Amino acid sequence: MDLEPGATAEVTTTVGPDRTAHAMGNHGVHVFATPFVIGLLEDAAAAVLRPHLPPGAGTVGTMVEMKHLAATPVGMKARAKATLLETDGKRFLFAVEAWDEKDKIAEGRHERFVVPDLQKFLARAMGKKAGG
């Protein structure tokens, strides 16, 4: 893929009740849950790669290092940015950051790998259920 370090992408979301710590079982904590913050960071990194993928290919996350710095209440917008740091064949390492409307809420690193044939990858994974 023709992608150089420094390439970036951003994604945004609005925090809904279904994406809170409360919704994940931490009752009474109605703020953006850490797993969903991680998902937003992963989405930003995938957005850097997506336009450069050949037909039938996809990407998967393989590593996340993240500090969750501030809480974001329901109804606020959150924005994540991924910046490509390095690439090695099918491996891509990103610096990731996220903000809500007031604060920086997360920072860290995220690694993704390109899967050349996503359907084959998924079929192999689903084969685990069938005992394959």
pLDDT at 28: 97
pLDDT at 130: 77
The more confident residue out of 132 and 49 is 49
Q: Which domains does the chain have, with CATH numbers?
A: 8-126 (3.10.129.10)
> Which one of 30, 34, 107, 111 is the catalytic residue?
34
**Statement: residue 132 has pLDDT above 60:** no
pLDDT at 79: 98
Active site residue 68: yes
Give pLDDT tens digits for 54-97. 999 999 999 999 999 999 999 999 999 999 999 999 999 999 99
> Which one of 68, 72, 87, 97 is the catalytic residue?
68
State both tokens at 129. 């259920």
Give pLDDT tens digits for 24-52. 999 999 999 999 999 999 999 999 999 99
CA distance 30 to 85: 34
pLDDT (average), residues 100-108: 98
Active site residue 30: no
